[in-house]
């Protein structure tokens, strides 16, 4: 082919080479291992003199297809696919860091990643410092001689704040840090952090990539050099994605662009509806003009994503009533699903934080997070309106 195709075309047309059956779409390779033709083939394969599948913990045609698609979407050279987003996060750090190393991270990060930094990495003498996203001008002071990684998410969860990825990319270059972005909230369709200087991009495939609430998956993509380190660690430690889930994800990615377009269209309508509602104190959505980083969001992202955060007048009590009255929308711990979901961060994902810590990541006791799905917008708005009554 040789021609450079566009995002949607790559998402569909990047696929495994056809087998003898000339199938149109990719089959599932549910096999633990692959056979060698003879003694020389076996020796050369293990000596890595040729690239081929040996064992599905190392590689499998279905995970390779998924990785190829995501690499094209993110503009990355290579990747490794994991059984969950957290397997990707953990393995990426564990593969790249030594005892004594230090991570510099934005404070607003996914709860389990925060827990990893706080409760587990100290076991291996890996420490971290957090910077506040509105204090980027002071992060120089947090860099130590042992700082190896700069870590961030944008938009953040659940505050949907936007970080300046280009600024962070330059900062990482200046200090010779590996810049890693968890791009899960945006999906590769809305934002490609490598363009802004990221060295590695992590996704939970569980969210918008699968988009239908059926699989757990994760992926890390970036340069050949860094991915090789992650691959060598992961093929031994075994967090690899199953071929079946990889197959499902490759299928899901074919429709990523049109699904995410609709998620964003619906989410913007929900955000605008909430903004004019008298029982709502504030609404945050990256593509609302009232968002503090609206201009930056427009620069970095194609659209605002599927998550809307807002605060009900009447705080926690009003929140509980809202959740008990909502009908169509699910109370569930996921996002980026075709089904709209509402959650209450203060009593769920962020319940272990103090009030002050919650405030520092943009959550109040009355904050509600909606992951806007793909149901008809009229039905979504009707349900929210009746629950607000």
Ligand X SMILES: *Cc1c(COP(=O)(O)O)cnc(C)c1O
Report if residue 185 touches ligand X, rule: CB under 6 A. Answer: yes
- Alpha-helical runs (H) found in 241-376: 243-253, 256-275, 294-300, 315-325, 355-360
Does 182 engage in binding with ligand X (CB under 6 A)? yes
Residue 164 or 182 having the CB closest to ligand X: 182
Regarding 80 and contact with ligand X (CB under 6 A), the answer is no
Of 179-187, 242-250, 337-345, 355-363, the window that binds ligand X (rule: CB under 6 A) is: 179-187
Q: What are the structure tokens assigned to 59, written together?
A: 């590689």
Helix (H, G, I), strand (E, B) or coil at 313: coil
Pairing label, strands 78-82, 102-106:
unpaired
CA 112 to chain centre: 13
- Within residues 310-369, the interface with ligand X by CB under 6 A covers none
Give CA separation, 104 vs 95, 209, 318, in Å. Answer: 17, 27, 37
Q: Which is nearer to ligand X, 78 or 182 (CB)?
A: 182
Structure tokens at 190: 């809305």
CB within 8 Å of 171: residues ≥ 6 apart: 136, 139, 140, 150, 177
H-run or E-run covering 236:
helix 224-237
Judged by CB under 6 A, the chain residues 90 through 129 that form the site for ligand X are: 110
**Measured from the CB atom, is 143 or 168 closer to ligand X?**
168
Would you give the binding string for ligand X spanning residues 32-71, x where CB under 6 A is met? ----------------------------------------
* C-beta closer to ligand X: residue 164 or 383: 164
Q: Which stretch binds ligand X (CB under 6 A): 52-60, 200-208, 279-287, 374-382?
A: 200-208
* Angstrom distance (rounded) from CA 133 to CA 139: 10
Q: Which residue in the set 56, 64, 84, 192 belongs to the binding site for ligand X (CB under 6 A)?
A: 84
Cβ atoms of 197 and 166 within 8 Å: the answer is yes
Answer for which of 128, 207, 259, 369 binds ligand X (CB under 6 A) is 207
Query: Considering only 35-43, 81-89, 98-106, 232-240, which stretch makes contact with ligand X by CB under 6 A?
Result: 81-89
Residues that bind ligand X (CB under 6 A): 84-86, 110, 153, 157, 182, 184-185, 204, 206-207, 216, 218
């Amino acid at each position: 082919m040789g021609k450079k195709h566009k995002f949607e075309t790559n998402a569909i047309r990047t696929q495994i080479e056809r087998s003898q059956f000339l199938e149109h779409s990719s089959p599932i390779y549910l096999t633990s291992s692959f056979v060698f033709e003879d003694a020389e083939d076996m020796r050369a394969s293990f000596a890595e003199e040729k690239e081929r599948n040996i064992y599905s913990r190392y590689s499998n045609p279905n995970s390779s297809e998924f990785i190829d698609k995501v690499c094209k979407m993110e503009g990355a050279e290579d990747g490794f696919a994991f059984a969950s987003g957290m397997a990707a996060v953990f393995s990426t750090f564990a593969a790249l860091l030594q005892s004594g190393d230090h991570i510099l991270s934005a404070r607003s990060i996914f709860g389990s990643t925060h827990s990893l930094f706080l409760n587990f990495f100290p076991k291996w003498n890996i420490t971290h410092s957090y910077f506040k996203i509105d204090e980027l001008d002071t992060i120089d002071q947090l860099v130590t001689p042992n700082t190896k990684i700069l870590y961030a998410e944008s938009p953040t969860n659940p505050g949907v704040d936007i970080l300046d990825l280009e600024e962070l990319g330059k900062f990482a270059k200046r200090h010779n840090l590996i810049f890693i972005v968890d791009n899960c909230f945006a999906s590769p369709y809305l934002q490609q952090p490598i363009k802004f200087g990221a060295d590695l991009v992590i996704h939970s495939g569980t969210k918008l990539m699968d988009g239908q609430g059926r699989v757990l998956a994760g992926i890390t993509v970036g340069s050949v050099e860094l991915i090789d380190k992650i691959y060598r660690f992961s093929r031994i430690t075994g967090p690899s994605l199953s071929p079946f889930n990889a197959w499902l994800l490759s299928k899901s990615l074919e429709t990523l662009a049109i699904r995410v377009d609709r998620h964003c269209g619906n989410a913007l309508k929900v955000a605008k509806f909430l903004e004019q509602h008298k029982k709502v104190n504030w609404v945050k959505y990256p593509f609302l003009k009232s968002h503090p980083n609206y201009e930056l969001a427009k620069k970095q992202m194609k659209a605002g994503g599927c998550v809307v955060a807002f605060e009900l007048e009447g705080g926690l009590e009003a929140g509980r009533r809202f959740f008990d009255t909502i009908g169509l929308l699910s109370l569930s711990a996921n996002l980026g699903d075709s089904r709209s979901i509402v959650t209450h961060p203060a009593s769920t994902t962020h319940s272990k934080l103090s009030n002050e810590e919650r405030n520092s990541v943009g959550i109040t006791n009355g904050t509600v997070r909606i992951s806007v799905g793909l149901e008809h917008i009229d039905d979504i708005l009707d349900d929210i309106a009746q629950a607000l009554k």
